[in-house]
């Protein structure tokens, strides 16, 4: 009898089982615009609703979750990492003023274990529900001989839409504008290569309970990235215009906040104006990391920073965000100066 594909390390039957297991999660994310079910060669999404906009602009975002996956693998817990994959993409779309419409995921694995793949996709579906977008398709690729059997990687891609007049560009940010920070849920999905230098990457280390965290280290690190889509929509629905928005991801404050600023203005962030989660204090203390490096690597407790006109009431923005389930603070202001950020 000749060789077959299974003997080469690719199990097509396992692929079929994965799809069957994930279907129940996917169906909960579907929006009315989705055409057809899971399993086609492409995901179809009706653009009929875009005709109601004056000048619809499509927005897209793609990302992965980096080496946070190592923590998930160590803990053998795979049902939240998909939320991170969605969050990293849809937050970028929302940051530009867009409504995420649909999402696709890509999972590469050494060996397709249907229950594990279904757990990952369960998290993806959960993230899509939080963002109000449809999971219209994806791909699971087995890479025998290229990846160890128990390892995988996940990436995602989101498409959203905004009316051109509602785009958040930062172009008219000016001195005197107010900066509002929206709380993060922890480390989110950036800086894990440094986390892995600070803490021993063992199951025992991840299962260690820290009183200051109120949980184990692994649980704290695996906390999913916050999804800010509904919070930003609540601010818009409250009639307040967001002039600029920065999603604090890799590169922390120093790289991300200037991305929303035009030339000639500088963001000033008061570090004592909000609560820094204990995971960052622990990281800094155990690793002996300087403040500059912490703020240049991590979100330090703020997942998004918004710029609004000082004439708008910051209280109204914070109230809208809190009613949407977010915690928000006035964290600083904009001043004239060289484009950049000052943390004081």
Residue 6 falls inside a structural domain: no
Q: Which helix (H) or strand (E) holds 128?
A: helix 114-131
Q: 233 has which bridge partners?
A: none
Tens digits of residue pLDDT in 157-186: 999 999 999 999 999 999 999 999 999 999
C-alpha 171, offset from chain centre = 24
Q: How many angstroms separate the Cα of 136 from the Cα of each of 90, 95, 233?
A: 14, 22, 22
16 lies in the same domain as 131: yes
Domain boundary among the residues 146, 166, 186 is at 166
Residue 203 falls inside a structural domain: yes
317 lies in the same domain as 234: yes
220 lies in the same domain as 197: yes
Residue 328 falls inside a structural domain: yes
158 lies in the same domain as 186: no
Tell me the pTM. 0.93
Domain boundary among the residues 143, 166, 189 is at 166
Residue 327 falls inside a structural domain: yes
User: How sure is the predictor about 26, in pLDDT bands with cuts at 50, 70 and 90?
Assistant: confident
Domain boundary among the residues 134, 166, 198 is at 166
CB atoms within 10 A of CB 316: 14
58 lies in the same domain as 133: yes
Counting residues of the chain whose pLDDT is more than 90, the rounded percentage is 82
User: How sure is the predictor about 21, in pLDDT bands with cuts at 50, 70 and 90?
Assistant: confident
47 lies in the same domain as 136: yes
The span from the CA of 201 to the CA of 196, in Å, is: 6
124 lies in the same domain as 195: no
108 lies in the same domain as 61: yes
148 lies in the same domain as 205: no
The alpha-carbon radius of gyration of the chain (Å, integer) is 21
Residue 171 falls inside a structural domain: no
Tens digits of residue pLDDT in 218-265: 999 999 999 999 999 999 999 999 999 999 999 999 999 999 999 999
Q: How many domains does the chain have?
A: 2
Residue 1 falls inside a structural domain: no
Residue 172 falls inside a structural domain: no
Residue 45, domain extent: 11-166
What CATH number does residue 84 fall under?
Answer: 3.30.1330.10
Sign of CA dihedral 251, 87, 277, 273: positive
pLDDT value of position 24 = 82
158 lies in the same domain as 188: no
Residue 248 · residue 305 · CB < 8 Å: yes
The CA-based diameter of the chain, rounded to the nearest angstrom, is 78
131 lies in the same domain as 195: no
What CATH number does residue 281 fall under?
Answer: 3.90.650.10
Residue 173 falls inside a structural domain: no
Angle made by CA atoms 250, 254, 257, in degrees to the nearest 5: 85
The span from the CA of 29 to the CA of 122, in Å, is: 11
Range 59-83 average pLDDT? 96
Looking at every residue in the chain, the average pLDDT score rounds to 93
Tens digits of residue pLDDT in 180-225: 999 999 999 999 999 999 999 999 999 999 999 999 999 999 999 9
pLDDT value of position 5 = 53
191 lies in the same domain as 339: yes
């Amino acid at each position: 009898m000749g060789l077959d594909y299974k003997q080469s390390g690719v199990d097509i039957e396992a692929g079929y089982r994965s799809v069957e297991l994930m279907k129940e999660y996917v169906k909960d994310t579907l929006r009315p615009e989705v055409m057809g079910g899971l399993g086609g060669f492409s995901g179809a999404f009706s653009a009929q609703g875009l005709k109601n906009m004056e000048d619809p602009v499509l927005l897209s975002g793609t990302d992965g979750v980096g080496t946070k996956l190592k923590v998930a693998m160590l803990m053998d817990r795979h049902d939240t990492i998909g939320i991170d994959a969605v969050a990293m993409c849809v937050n970028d779309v929302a940051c530009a003023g867009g409504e995420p419409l649909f999402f696709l995921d890509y999972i590469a694995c050494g060996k397709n274990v249907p229950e594990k793949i279904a757990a990952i996709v369960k998290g993806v579906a959960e993230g899509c529900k939080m963002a109000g977008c449809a999971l219209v398709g994806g791909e699971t690729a087995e890479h025998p001989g290229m990846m160890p059997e128990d390892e995988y990687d996940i990436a995602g891609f989101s498409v959203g839409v905004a009316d051109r007049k509602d785009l958040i560009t930062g172009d008219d940010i000016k001195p005197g504008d107010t900066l509002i920070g929206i709380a993060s849920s922890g480390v989110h999905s950036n800086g894990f290569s440094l986390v892995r230098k600070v803490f021993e990457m063992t199951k025992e280390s991840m299962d260690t309970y820290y009183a200051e965290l109120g949980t184990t280290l692994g649980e704290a690190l695996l906390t999913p990235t916050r999804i800010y889509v509904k919070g930003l929509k609540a601010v818009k629905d409250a009639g307040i215009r967001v002039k600029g928005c920065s999603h604090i991801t890799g590169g922390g404050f120093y790289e991300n906040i200037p991305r929303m600023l035009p030339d000639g203005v500088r963001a000033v962030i008061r570090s004592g104006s909000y609560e820094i989660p204990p995971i960052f204090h622990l990281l800094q203390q155990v690793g002996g990391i300087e403040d500059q490096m912490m703020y240049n690597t991590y979100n330090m407790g703020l997942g998004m920073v918004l710029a609004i006109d000082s004439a708008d009431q910051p209280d109204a923005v914070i109230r809208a965000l809190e009613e949407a389930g977010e915690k928000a603070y006035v964290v600083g202001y904009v001043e004239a100066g060289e484009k950049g950020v000052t943390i004081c």
